[in-house]
A = this chain, B = another copy of it.
């Protein structure tokens, strides 16, 4: 089991992207975002994406150095054409613009199209909260989710993120798919050979299934809420598709030709409503109250959004990041092909930090 320190992985990612044609600045930025996802425990958005991104650069899908164009702009809004640069580069610029506009105008919205995979939404909404603002983000992507009552893929998993400063060590950062589960979880179950929970997916005929293969054979994910309340997840998924697909001009998930992410970012300045210290004090009281709630039978602890990620990050900063053998091998091959000399990882054979797996 290869185990690497965050800094090692950032260096490796940066060198590979530079060798693949990116500028040092871009390469470093993208690598940092990927490693941040690993640290947070979301390995599906971590260094495993190096493999995808290098291939996309080779295929001309990601265009390193692409110039971001401002297509429309007001004092409080902007629409960006990412011209198919790295998604992270486009998204970071979009959020920076939104933050600057919210500083002046209290509420701002910035959308982007022609944008590749941006990674985890939480990384962008967190940029707002470190500026003592509220960050909101939505993106759409390729279709994989059925409408409530429908059998065909029509929507993407359409994640939504909200981030609020809390005045404590752990900020409030929600980052959730509007489907009942993210596609990455299906892939993990498939590779382990297990069964899914009832209510996650349907097969290609629209029947409920617990076999992850049925998803990849023309089935679909179900919207958040399942058979009882799936109209809610479906409705939220549509909202994401409209704001990040239509308002952003990126296109909707159902449109077959869709690729990359449509981006919708919003920022609000807290002090236009309530003094910052009061907001933070109220946030920490709310979190304290919630966490002091009695725990239900079958549960261990009440965690608020963002808390699991910070806890995982603390462990991984200390103990390193576990990279699956197959991922590490593929990264090694890419490095070799591009003439990048990558450092050897530590190898652990015992049940090293099990909580990472």
Chain A interface residues toward B at CB < 8 A:
72, 74-77, 79, 105-109, 111, 134, 146-152, 154, 162, 164, 172, 174, 176-177, 180-181, 197, 199-200, 202, 205-207, 224-226, 228-229, 231-236, 238-239, 241-243, 246-249, 252, 254, 266, 268-270, 272-274, 279, 282-283, 285-286, 289-290, 293-297, 299-305
Q: A302 touches which one: B106, B149, B269 (CB < 8 A)?
A: B149
Complexed CA–CA distance, A295 and B77 (Å): 39
Complexed CA–CA distance, A297 and B150 (Å): 9
Q: A235 touches which one: B176, B205, B247, B302 (CB < 8 A)?
A: B176
Residue contact A224 to B229, C-beta cutoff 8 Å = yes
Report the minimum CB–CB distance from A145 to chain B (whole Å). 11
Complexed CA–CA distance, A152 and B302 (Å): 11
Q: Which residues of B contact A162 (CB under 8 A)?
A: 235, 239
Given contacts A74-B106, A77-B273, 15 further A-B contacts (CB under 8 A): A77-B268, A150-B290, A154-B289, A162-B235, A164-B242, A176-B236, A180-B228, A181-B228, A206-B295, A224-B229, A226-B228, A242-B283, A242-B286, A246-B283, A252-B282
Residue contact B286 to A252, C-beta cutoff 8 Å = yes
A238 with B172, Cβ < 8 A, contacts A151-B293, A202-B296 known: yes
Residue contact A301 to B107, C-beta cutoff 8 Å = no
Complexed CA–CA distance, A296 and B202 (Å): 9
Residue contact B286 to A246, C-beta cutoff 8 Å = yes
Complexed CA–CA distance, A88 and B279 (Å): 26
Residue contact A150 to B226, C-beta cutoff 8 Å = no
Q: A149 touches which one: B226, B282, B296 (CB < 8 A)?
A: B296
A246 with B274, Cβ < 8 A, contacts A76-B107, A235-B176, A302-B149 known: yes
Residue contact A206 to B150, C-beta cutoff 8 Å = no
Q: Which 3 A-B pairs have the closest CB atoms?
A: A149-B299, A150-B293, A206-B296
Complexed CA–CA distance, A148 and B269 (Å): 29
Q: Which residues of B contact A134 (CB under 8 A)?
A: 243, 247
Report the minimum CB–CB distance from A268 to chain B (whole Å). 6
Residue contact B224 to A232, C-beta cutoff 8 Å = yes
Closest residue on chain B to residue A143 by CB atoms: B289
Closest residue on chain B to residue A74 by CB atoms: B106
Report the minimum CB–CB distance from A174 to chain B (whole Å). 4
Q: Can you give 25 contacting A-B residue pairs, CB < 8 Å?
A: A72-B272, A75-B105, A77-B268, A111-B273, A146-B293, A147-B290, A147-B302, A149-B299, A150-B293, A150-B296, A150-B302, A151-B294, A164-B242, A180-B228, A180-B229, A181-B229, A200-B228, A206-B297, A224-B224, A224-B229, A224-B232, A234-B305, A238-B290, A247-B270, A252-B286
